[in-house]
Amino acid sequence: MENFKYTEENEKEFQRILEKYPNSDAMMLPGLWLVQEQIGWVSPAAMIFMADRLGKTPIEVHSFATFYTMFNLEPIGTYHIELCKTLSCMIMGAPELKKFIKDTLGIGPGETSADGKFHFSEVECQGACGGAPMIALNHTYHENLTVEKLENIIKGCK
- By beta-carbon proximity to ligand FES, the closer residue of 43 and 126 is 126
Applying the rule CB under 6 A, the residues between 104 and 123 that interact with ligand FES are: none
Closest CA to 89 of 150, 155, 153, 154: 150
95 binds ligand FES (CB under 6 A): no
DSSP line for the chain: -------HHHHHHHHHHHHH--SHHHHHHHHHHHHHHHHSS--HHHHHHHHHHHT--HHHHHHHHHH-TTS-SS---SEEEEEE-SHHHHHHTHHHHHHHHHHHH---TTEE-TTS-EEEEEES--S-GGG-S-EEETTEEE-S--HHHHHHHHHT--
17 binds ligand FES (CB under 6 A): no
Given 35, 65, 76, 89, the residue binding ligand FES (CB under 6 A): 89
- By beta-carbon proximity to ligand FES, the closer residue of 86 and 104 is 86
Please, what is the minimum distance in Å from the beta carbon of residue 35 to ligand FES?
26
- By beta-carbon proximity to ligand FES, the closer residue of 60 and 122 is 122
65 binds ligand FES (CB under 6 A): no
- Piece in contact with ligand FES (CB under 6 A), picked from 8-16, 30-38, 81-89, 146-154: 81-89
Given 72, 78, 86, 146, the residue binding ligand FES (CB under 6 A): 86
129 binds ligand FES (CB under 6 A): yes
Please, what is the minimum distance in Å from the beta carbon of residue 112 to ligand FES?
23
23-35 in b/e form (b: 16+ CB < 10 A) is: ebeebbbbbbbbb
Binding site for ligand FES (CB under 6 A): 84, 86-89, 125-129, 132, 134
